[in-house]
Amino acid sequence: MDLFGDLRRMNKRQLYYQVLNFAMIVSSALMIWKGLIVVTGSESPIVVVLSGSMEPAFHRGDLLFLTNFHDDPIRAGEIVVFKVEGRDIPIVHRVIKVHEKGNGNIKFLTKGDNNEVDDRGLYKEGQNWLEKKDVVGRARGFLPYVGMVTIIMNDYPKFKYALLAVMGAYVLLKRES
């Protein structure tokens, strides 16, 4: 397959059409993502489980669908995705204890199903409880192992760039019949 030969054989109008087609695909994906953010109320409506800490409920590579409606109270037993100050990657764990104060303020403690101890060691120093502001979303559904593609691309960056290059070349060089 001669990629550059195909590019040279295209006239300018075909090349512009293919570039615009590629830009439309990228912008459509971004619009869908932003729409999901609005509909679910979560800054990250889809996440991938990166570790085995939630087994047997969720396995590494499971794709989780999240919502984060602020009116819903957090309850013990729910699976939440939260961010801790100083860490970039959100954590998927189960709420094991909830403390509600009279003013409506809620604090809670989490733990991975497959972990021996609660998550206080994961929280920032001096923090013993999570608050609602720390929650990215609550798990509402999942697709098993679909997120393994994401894990493989993060573990092998060269594979990720090769896959993106092939997909980009395909979109740019594919001609409609």
What pTM, to 2 d.p., does this model score? 0.79
Catalytic residue from among 42, 62, 119, 134: 119
The answer for 36, left when phi > 0, alpha when psi is -120 to 50, beta otherwise, is alpha
86: exposed, middle or buried (Cβ count in 10 Å: 0-12, 13-18, 19+): exposed
Q: What percent of the chain has pLDDT over 90?
A: 59
Structural domain boundaries of the chain? 1-39, 44-143, 146-176
Using one digit for the tens of pLDDT, what is the confidence trace for 12-29?
887 788 788 889 989 999
* CATH superfamily assigned to domain 44-143: Umud Fragment, subunit A (2.10.109.10)
Nearest to 34 by CA among 24, 23, 45: 45
Interatomic CA distance for residues 16 and 145, integer angstroms: 38
Least confident of 1-5, 12-16, 106-110: 1-5
Distance of CA 129 to the CA centre of its chain: 24
Catalytic residue from among 93, 113, 134, 177: 93
Q: What average pLDDT does this structure show over 53-66?
A: 95
Q: What pLDDT band is residue 134 in, cutting at 50, 70 and 90?
A: very high
Q: What pLDDT band is residue 6 in, cutting at 50, 70 and 90?
A: low
pLDDT of residue 30: 96
6 is catalytic: no
99 is catalytic: no
Q: What pLDDT band is residue 8 in, cutting at 50, 70 and 90?
A: low
Using one digit for the tens of pLDDT, what is the confidence trace for 77-103?
999 999 998 888 999 999 999 998 878
Higher pLDDT, 61 or 175: 61
pLDDT of residue 92: 96
Catalytic residue from among 42, 53, 62, 134: 53
